[in-house]
Structure 1
Amino acid sequence: MAFSWGSIKSLLIFFGPILLPKAINYYNKVRNAPRIHGLQVVPLPPSVSRALVLLFFVSLTFLIQTLPPFAPENVFQTTQSRLQIPVDVLFTRLASLRPSGQLTASDAALRTRFVNMESRLLYLQLGPDPLAHCPFCGADEPASYLYYALPSLAVPHLFNLVVIALVTSDLFAGRAGAAWRTVATIAAVCLAVADVYAVVSYDYQANARALRLSDLDFFYWKARVWRAVGLAALDGLLGWLMYLTATNRAFVNPPVPAERVESAVRMLAATKGRLNAAGVIKNTVIRDEELRSRGTLYWSHEVRLMRDVMEDREVIEGVNDALQNRIDIQTITRDAEMYAESVLKPVS
């Protein structure tokens, strides 16, 4: 069922005021989640880096496949011929463009199938491979060509599913990849289903009314490009989400109690280690006569310097002014008494 731009615009006007505030709230929630849970941005883990490199090369491979040199040949575009051109004229033109001046085995197979309009229409829908190599297909059963084309149609999707399963495995990318495993798998399956549905539901008979080459809809070549772009976009989006999760920039989950306890234990152990090191240094200083005398001289100098500063007239006047005009002594005294009582209060 086709939707016009007017109907899409009406749906956006109706659902926009409802969905837009929810989308904004979700975005703010995702963006502020790390700060709310007290998590800091961390460097990208090496395991996630390897996963992102793999996703990058897979996406790049899909995009390279969209370039014209890697696309199967379209005999109608190569020879600049209409769909209704006689078979002999079409393949005579094609043979003249071959380096050897003769048709290849695939060209000869296509020539035997291009005897009717149905085969040419299926060629524009499914590409040259089913028409040239299918041993059980015939124009009287158009669905047989579709059955032959389905495995090759599913190959890039299956390959991408294997890549997604690898990069989202806990052993390969850790928790940052495993968090998106289900979502990425569902998205890949939905993309494959949408691709197959687009091919199956395509009205290939519409090209029969095209009288000029420019009027033809080369569906197979267009679908091939959009398929590769869609898979590359899916892998790129997955890599971006994994990056945000792995670095605690977004889509973070609050640490479980066991992780919090483990983190607190690590912090306490690190603090204890520093205190032990400080104790060792202090004992060393006390036991060494030279270091002890240098420490005594340092603190004697600091105390004398502080006393001289505090006895300065301007400092005394500034302290008195602050005590009289800026600091509420009674409030500070009351807070100090309450704090002392809370500290000295016996535990019941």
Structure 2
Amino acid sequence: MGIPISWGTTKSLLLFFGPMLLPKAIGYYRTLRAGPAAQGLRIRPVSPQVARTLYVLAITVLIYLVISFPFFAPENLFVRTQSRLQIPTDVLFTRLTSLRPGNILTDADQVLRAKFVNLESRLLYLQFGPDVLADCPFCNSDDPRSYFYYAFPALLAPHLLNLVVLSASTSDWLSGREGPRWRTTVVMASSLIAALDVYLVHSYNYQANSRATRLVDLDMHYWDMRAYRAIALALVNAAFAALLYLSATNRAFAAPPDPAERVEAATRALLLTKSKVNAVGIIKNTSIRDEDLRRRVEAYWTHEGRLMREVMEEREVIEGVNDALENRINIDAISRDAESYATNMLPRAQEDAQVAGQQVVG
């Protein structure tokens, strides 16, 4: 039995630990957000492989959430008949008969009726569910552990199935190079949840229900654990999908490329810059070597120089320039803009070359 914690105690703990933990959480979040930028990595779109993996995980999360609804759970005889645990067996199944089509009990109902020979069987029914109580060929209420042994494979089945889904989602052929880095994490999380599930079912004190005299006081352990199990698997898959999305788009948990990829990226950037410089040189050489083009260039710049001199010599232009220089224009800002423009004449090539140089040095 856990110790209840009042709202006043909770507020006191928050007021005491909040000022210490909140700045650390904010700092960790900012570091996490700035990590990719500090490593020279850009935010990128989701690749087709990662998108397929996210679709698969979204479908599994939706399936688990739907399965957790009570509508899809096995029937609970006590809830269906609104009966307390100590109700006589004949009365319980008489009520159930009136709810069945044609007032006829099914074969499973007949098996459960034969199993409900004592209170112990009903308590085990609430712990392991109707299928285990009805189908186990070697179980008996004198040995409660026998029901756990029979239920153990069915208990692990959803965890193993989800582990197969996560293993496929973290494989190279489905998620590319982003998925395998999370394989160890998701396997450990899935194993931990499976172990916790088995422990909770095995250590459950089913005898506590024997003191319940009303239906609302019963702990429907099997049905509650079934819902919690599905929700836990959905949360694991949703968390993995979020981690995969953040790492695949370099928003967080971004891993820098390995040295081979860095050298290859630097080589491509240098080749691209060299090709652009060569293209500019070819254009310049062509314009200079061709006599007609050379005359046109010289005529253009001669005309441009004469035209600008004539414009700048007009009285209105001189007065406007002087007035702008004195009152309106920030020369320092113009100088910075001119320097920025000159620096960014080939922005992408220059940026690629700088990133490549940093990666090579690193």
- Smaller-chain TM-score bracket: 0.7 to 0.9
**Structure 1 position 278, deviation (Å):** 3.8
Structure 1 unaligned runs (5+)?
Answer: 328-348
Other-structure match for 2:236: 234
Moved more, 83-92 or 166-175: 166-175
**Structure 1 position 162, deviation (Å):** 1.0
Give the total of aligned pairs.
Answer: 325
Other-structure match for 1:109: 111
1:52 to 45, 51, 54: 54
Following superposition of structure 1 onto structure 2, how do residues 3-82 of structure 1 map, counting pairs within 5 Å?
3-5=3-5, 9=10, 19-82=21-84
Q: Distance in 1 between matches of 2:318 and 2:301?
A: 24
Following superposition of structure 1 onto structure 2, how do residues 265-304 of structure 1 map, counting pairs within 5 Å?
265-282=267-284, 295-304=297-306
Pair 1:13–1:164, CA change in 2 (3 A): farther
Other-structure match for 1:100: 102
Contact 1:169 1:178 in 2 (8 A): yes
Question: Partner of 2:250: helix, strand, or coil?
Answer: coil
**Structure 1 position 267, deviation (Å):** 1.1
Moved more, 57-66 or 297-306: 297-306
Contact 1:167 1:177 in 2 (8 A): yes
Following superposition of structure 1 onto structure 2, how do residues 149-298 of structure 1 map, counting pairs within 5 Å?
149-282=151-284, 295-298=297-300
Contact 1:309 1:315 in 2 (8 A): no
Other-structure match for 1:334: none
Q: Is 2:2 aligned against 1:2? A: yes
Q: Distance in 2 between matches of 1:182 and 1:227?
A: 21
Aligned AA (2:176)? G
Pair 1:88–1:275, CA change in 2 (3 A): same
TM-score, reference length from structure 1: 0.83
Q: Distance in 1 between matches of 2:47 and 2:204?
A: 45
Q: Distance in 1 between matches of 2:324 and 2:41?
A: 42
Pair 1:309–1:105, CA change in 2 (3 A): farther
Question: Partner of 2:103: helix, strand, or coil?
Answer: coil
Moved more, 250-259 or 197-206: 250-259
Q: Distance in 2 between matches of 1:288 and 1:300?
A: 18
Pair 1:319–1:16, CA change in 2 (3 A): closer
Pair 1:75–1:167, CA change in 2 (3 A): same
**Structure 1 position 67, deviation (Å):** 2.0
Aligned AA (2:87)? I
Instruction: Please give the per-residue CA displacement for 1:134-166, whole angstroms capped at 9, x wherever unaligned.
Output: 001000001111111111111111111111111
Q: Distance in 2 between matches of 1:14 and 1:194?
A: 31
Moved more, 255-264 or 114-123: 255-264
Other-structure match for 2:356: none
Q: Distance in 2 between matches of 1:290 and 1:101?
A: 105
Pair 1:282–1:128, CA change in 2 (3 A): same
Aligned AA (1:259)? E
**Structure 1 position 254, deviation (Å):** 3.0
Pair 1:321–1:70, CA change in 2 (3 A): closer
RMSD over aligned Cα atoms: 2.8
Q: Distance in 2 between matches of 1:157 and 1:217?
A: 24
**Structure 1 position 72, deviation (Å):** 0.4
1:120 to 119, 122, 130: 122
Question: Partner of 2:101: helix, strand, or coil?
Answer: coil
**Structure 1 position 37, deviation (Å):** 1.1
Pair 1:27–1:131, CA change in 2 (3 A): same
Paired-residue identity, %: 55
Q: Distance in 1 between matches of 2:102 and 2:273?
A: 80
Moved more, 161-170 or 55-64: 161-170
**Structure 1 position 271, deviation (Å):** 2.1
Other-structure match for 2:85: 83
**Structure 1 position 102, deviation (Å):** 1.1
Aligned AA (2:41)? L
Q: Distance in 1 between matches of 2:309 and 2:198?
A: 87
Other-structure match for 1:313: 318
Pair 1:53–1:95, CA change in 2 (3 A): same
Question: Partner of 1:176: helix, strand, or coil?
Answer: coil
Q: Distance in 2 between matches of 1:34 and 1:125?
A: 49
Question: Partner of 2:178: helix, strand, or coil?
Answer: helix
**Structure 1 position 214, deviation (Å):** 1.1
Q: Distance in 1 between matches of 2:309 and 2:259?
A: 51
Moved more, 276-285 or 212-221: 276-285
Q: Distance in 2 between matches of 1:315 and 1:261?
A: 54
Pair 1:181–1:13, CA change in 2 (3 A): farther
Q: Distance in 2 between matches of 1:97 and 1:305?
A: 101
Other-structure match for 2:349: none
Q: Distance in 2 between matches of 1:110 and 1:298?
A: 101
Moved more, 172-181 or 40-49: 172-181
Pair 1:320–1:233, CA change in 2 (3 A): closer
**Structure 1 position 120, deviation (Å):** 0.5
Other-structure match for 1:141: 143
